[in-house]
Amino acid sequence: MMLETACGHGPVCGVDEAGRGPWAGPVSAGAVILHPDKVPVGLNDSKKLSHKQREMLEVEIKASAVAWAVGFASVAEIGELNILHATGLAMRRALQALSVTPAIALVDGNYAFPLPCTVKTVVGGDGLSCSIAAASILAKTARDRLMVELDGRYPGYGFAAHKGYHAEVHVQALRQLGPCPEHRLGWAPVRLAMAGKTSMSAED
């Protein structure tokens, strides 16, 4: 993995999201400026790490990074803005919450979100850039933790297990209980599941 921590104009920040595809819950974004001499060992795309690995790396990232932050966009904002623009909102919130202002944001993917600094997109960045990988881990662990909390608030849907993604238990709960306030009602798979029809999984 490459490590870009500074450019001629200032610090470089990795940015990545979690939760674009679920049927329920917010979308989150992590922003991390790594210290060049304190890069945690084992950084990788959060989806390729186990739950335990992510939690261990989360602690290391927060302890060693120059700056880090996580931002969210709510289900209501996803419904109002659409998932793409809500993701950009979560990223902006994460960047604005950093204690150090970055000069460049390395963003996973090929879409240049309008962010409060120069943006450089990196396709497959969570597997190529240490900074983006670190951001993906913080976004994922923060969102997973929130979904566990929502499981306690809205029991019966299985949020703690599937984190709001497509799962048979989730489909059955929607049919039996109907939606809760954290469901993305504008999404076709959610409406199909509620109607008792064959549903399809949303893209991760």
How confident is the model over 178-198, as pLDDT tens digits?
A: 999 999 999 888 888 888 764
pLDDT band at residue 4 using 50, 70 and 90 as cut-offs: low
Any domain includes 204:
no
Q: Are residues 176 and 145 in the same domain?
A: no
**Are 145 and 162 in a shared domain?**
no
On whether residue 202 sits in a domain, the answer given is: no
Q: Is residue 138 part of a domain?
A: yes
Max Cα-Cα span within the chain: 57
The answer as to whether 1 is a domain residue is no
Residue 58 lies in a domain: yes
**pLDDT per position as a tens digit, 92-129:** 999 999 999 999 999 999 999 999 999 999 999 988 99
Q: Please, is 176 exposed, middle or buried when counting C-beta atoms within 10 Å of its C-beta (0-12, 13-18, 19+)?
A: exposed
What is the rounded CA–CA span in Å between residue 147 and residue 155? 11
Same domain, 29 and 90: yes
Name which residue leads in pLDDT, 201 or 146. Answer: 146
* In a domain? residue 129: yes
Question: How far is Cα 167 from Cα 43, in angstroms, rounded to an integer?
Answer: 28
Q: Give the residue numbers spanning the domain of 164.
A: 154-194
Do 123 and 58 belong together in one domain? Answer: yes
Asked if residue 171 belongs to a domain, the reply is yes
Let me know whether 144 and 166 are in one domain: no
Kindly state whether residues 87 and 74 are assigned to the same domain.
Answer: yes
Please check whether residues 82 and 173 belong to one and the same domain: no
Where residue 201 falls among pLDDT bands split at 50, 70, 90? very low
- Same domain for 98 and 112? yes
Q: Please report, for the domain that includes residue 16, its CATH number.
A: 3.30.420.10
Question: Which runs of E-coded beta strand occur in 19-137?
Answer: 27-33, 67-73, 104-108, 118-122
Specify if 65 maps to a domain. Answer: yes
Co-location of 21 and 114 in the same domain? yes
Q: Does the pLDDT of residue 74 top 80, yes or no? A: yes
Please count the structural domains in the chain. Answer: 2
Predicted TM-score (pTM) of this structure = 0.92
For the segment 28-59, what is each residue's pLDDT rounded down to a tens digit? 999 999 999 999 999 998 989 999 999 999 99
